[in-house]
Amino acid sequence: MRHIAIIGSGPAGYYSAEAAQKKFGSDVRIDIIDRLPVPFGLIRFGVAPDHQSIKAVSARYEKVALSDNVGFVGNVTVGKDVSVDELQGLYDAVILATGAPNDRTLDIAGGDLPGVFGSAAFVGWYNGHPDFADIEPPLDGRHVVIIGNGNVALDVARILSKTRAEFGGSDIVSHALDMLDDSKLEDISILGRRGPHQIAMTPKELGELGHLERATPRVEPGDLPELGDDALLEPGMRKSVTLLREFAAIPEAFRADKDININFDFFAAPVAIEGNGKVERIIVERTRLDDQYRSIGTGEIYTIDCDMVISCIGYETPSIEGVPFEHGRGRFANVEGRILPGLYCVGWARRGPSGTIGTNRPDGYAIIDIVAGDIGDGAGKTGRPGLDAILEKRRVQVVKFSDWKKIEEAETARAREGAPREKFVRIEDMIAAKG
């Protein structure tokens, strides 16, 4: 019998478990450990609450989770409740699928002022992540600046713009919905340090900004490259840039009916954030591209008055004591997923925060191929009973998958009309709901 522990119950974790089931059939026992009492990681806490079709992939993970040889070990923090070393003593393979839940640091003066949030915090807040339930973003202001030109910047701009009615059918948490509904927002500026041809935004997500009830995107026509240059782009990127061109052509008269402008500010690098005890303005330097398409400052500085700054500049994997880490790249040091003998990583923890949820599927299958070659038939280790003994001794309250189903049932029962679920945002409420 082979025993595999997977740390992290997001997409990379469940695709790896699915791959292990396919590879080893009934000759494997898999435990998926998560520090939170609820599974699915990025699906629950990262994917936007109005993107329910993307979240539906959790049904596939649930199928894996409900098999006899796969366990969910929730509410257990590796590094605190049990160490990686201990797990390695119990399991033939330990796979870190911990994702990249930490914000990459916005390293500018004033980056720590109240009113500056990383996207992990802001996205976590509207998705009900227990770590960010209390951040209270100042939504009573008129202008929010978003830094970054990726899909997370688009998610954040869209969530800030939507009306209560537009959140119908979403699983946004009510504390966020109420505050967003009351917001007095007039302007959202999305700062990109490079230009329209360097965005990391995909067409579907960009296109959604063109169909909002109370907001309209605005692109300065002068920021767009020559039309003919679009021919050199790969098709997805060309579609995205075509959308930016459409946004640039939106007539001013159309904006008159809308409450919120979503301004794309290209060639704009944040230099500092200022304010008296809270965010009041951001200082920006106009940039241009060098011959390698890197952004370089022009020395032209301007100021945007604003009430909140949300930095959407990418994520990092949290390090774990004793596990080799590549600090510059924010991921575990690894060669094709191997960290140390018996210790592996997969998904964003292996390659950094890029790609779609589906990208983690081949990643999960690839790591299991490697594990299969390394562990053979297994070394007669103890697996789950050994883990249970350690956790019982330390009085850790483990949440199983059957407990999660009770939590989910309670959340569904609490749901507002038209919403799929009213999520619990506090760990103690999740634990209480499992009975």
By DSSP bridging, strand 268-274 and strand 281-289 are antiparallel
Instruction: Categorise residue 39: left if φ over 0, alpha if ψ from -120 to 50, beta otherwise.
Output: beta
Instruction: Give, in order, the Cα–Cα distances in Å from 272 to each of 21, 227, 280, 333, 379.
Output: 50, 34, 11, 32, 55
Q: How far is the CB of 347 from ligand NAP (least distance, A)?
A: 12
Residue 197 interacting with ligand NAP (CB under 6 A): no
**Residue 290: both structure tokens together:** 């060098």
Q: How far is the CB of 360 from ligand NAP (least distance, A)?
A: 11
Q: How far is the CB of 329 from ligand NAP (least distance, A)?
A: 12
Residue 381 interacting with ligand NAP (CB under 6 A): no
Residue 408 interacting with ligand NAP (CB under 6 A): no
Secondary structure of 340-355 in the HEC alphabet? ECCEEECCHHHHCCCC
Residues 144-183 that bind ligand NAP (CB under 6 A): 147-153, 155
286 CB neighbour count, 10 Å cutoff: 15
Site size toward ligand NAP, by CB under 6 A: 25
Residues 286-315 that bind ligand NAP (CB under 6 A): 295, 312-315
SS3 content of the chain, % helix, strand, coil (to 5): 40, 20, 40
Whether the CB-CB separation of 15 and 131 falls below 8 Å is answered with no
Compose the 217-256 pattern: x for residues touching ligand NAP by CB under 6 A, - for all others: ----------------------------------------
Residue 200 interacting with ligand NAP (CB under 6 A): yes
Q: Of the two residues 215 and 410, which places its CB atom closer to ligand NAP in the complex?
A: 215
Which of the stretches 91-99, 142-150, 166-174, 391-399 binds ligand NAP when contact is defined by CB under 6 A?
142-150
Question: 107 exposed, middle or buried (CB, 10 Å; 0-12, 13-18, 19+)?
Answer: exposed
Which of the stretches 84-92, 191-199, 400-408, 424-432 binds ligand NAP when contact is defined by CB under 6 A?
191-199
Residue 18 interacting with ligand NAP (CB under 6 A): no
**Chain center to CA of 113:** 23
Residue 205 interacting with ligand NAP (CB under 6 A): yes
Q: Using CA atoms, how far apart are residues 174 and 170, in angstroms rounded to an integer? A: 11
Q: How many helices (H) and strands (E) does the chain have?
A: 16, 19
Cα dihedral 82→83→87→90 (10° resolution): -70
Q: How far is the CB of 193 from ligand NAP (least distance, A)?
A: 4
Q: Of the two residues 54 and 133, which places its CB atom closer to ligand NAP in the complex?
A: 54
Options 41, 74, 275, 353; binder of ligand NAP; rule CB under 6 A: 353
Whether the CB-CB separation of 12 and 97 falls below 8 Å is answered with yes
Q: Of the two residues 296 and 415, which places its CB atom closer to ligand NAP in the complex?
A: 296
Q: Of the two residues 83 and 202, which places its CB atom closer to ligand NAP in the complex?
A: 202
Residues 47-106 that bind ligand NAP (CB under 6 A): none
Which of the stretches 65-73, 85-93, 187-195, 230-238 binds ligand NAP when contact is defined by CB under 6 A?
187-195
At residue 230, the 3 state secondary structure works out as helix
Whether the CB-CB separation of 193 and 295 falls below 8 Å is answered with yes
Residue 208 interacting with ligand NAP (CB under 6 A): no
Which residue sits closest to ligand NAP, CB atoms considered? Answer: 150
Residues forming contacts to ligand NAP in the complex (CB under 6 A) are: 147-153, 155, 192-194, 198, 200, 202, 205, 270, 295, 312-315, 353-356
